[in-house]
Amino acid sequence: MKKITLLSILFFLVILPFSKSQAQEVIKKKGYTLTFESNFAELDPKLKKRLIETFFIVYPKLAKEYNPNTLKDVKFFIDTAYKGVAATSNGVVTFSSIWMIKHPEDIDVVTHEVMHIVQDYGRSVGPGWLTEGIADFARSKFGIDNAGAKWALPDLKPEHSYKNSYRITARFFTWIEKNVKPGTIRAVDASLRDHTYTSAIWTKLTGKDLDGLWADYVKNPQL
């Protein structure tokens, strides 16, 4: 009886933990490798498929546009313990299972997060609002189903500032690209990656500093 009990205990200690998490799946395509892992047993297989497909659609495009030397190996982890939306660090994107349940249509959270991998600013000299604004600018430009998620760049409001980050900043950047000088945001992104960024780059690229560009944007914000 004691031997049976001991074997039972060992079974639960060794085997049971593995039953709670899904095995890793490694997918290779277009010169990139995506490792997919989840501890969320209820993850919809169709959503998983969309997450993987979105990566292989948008990541090569982002790499080509901004950083051909970006990581070739990326990992997605759907985590039941993570309470935010998603976060990216060292080539690993952690997605909240709670967000997946509430917003299964928000597939382009992938586009925003993998843009952070492409950005690869390291110990950047740039401000946080700029990093997030560029990531949402990339989502707006390269996202595959922003409309399906009811995600859009917001109309300008009196209380907005280019330092608001995310979509507000992204809309301003879209305006610059369309109305001032195409390629500006790509150049700013590159300066952040090689750590040469200063606020003077805006004047160098467009002839006006950020405040001057914003003033023009406020006067005529149409895209």
pLDDT, one tens digit per residue, over 141-168 is 999 999 999 999 999 999 999 999 999 9
pLDDT in tens, 28-76: 998 999 999 999 999 999 999 999 999 999 999 999 999 999 999 999 9
pLDDT range class, residue 4, cuts 50, 70, 90: very low
CA 212 from centroid of its chain's CA atoms: 29
Pair (65, 130) in one structural domain:
no
Query: d(Cα 118, Cα 63) in Å, to the nearest integer?
Result: 6
Pair (164, 219) in one structural domain:
yes
Nearest to 58 by CA among 97, 113, 106: 113
Pair (36, 79) in one structural domain:
yes
Domain boundary among 71, 98, 120: 120
> Residue 141 is which amino acid?
K
Range of the domain at 42: 1-120
pLDDT in tens, 14-36: 333 433 445 689 999 989 999 99
In a 3-state reduction of DSSP, which class is residue 95?
strand
CA 19 from centroid of its chain's CA atoms: 30
Structural domains in the chain (count): 2
pTM: 0.88
CB 146 within 8 A of CB 129: no
Pair (219, 114) in one structural domain:
no
Query: d(Cα 215, Cα 210) in Å, to the nearest integer?
Result: 9
- The CA distances from residue 29 to 34, 52, 168, 174, 203, in Å, are 8, 11, 34, 31, 41
Domain boundary among 120, 153, 188: 120
Nearest to 38 by CA among 56, 55, 51: 51
Token pair, residue 108, equals: 């382009």
Which residues are bridge partners to 26 per DSSP? 35
| Backbone torsions φ then ψ of 175, nearest 5 degrees | -60, -45
| Backbone torsions φ then ψ of 160, nearest 5 degrees | -75, 155
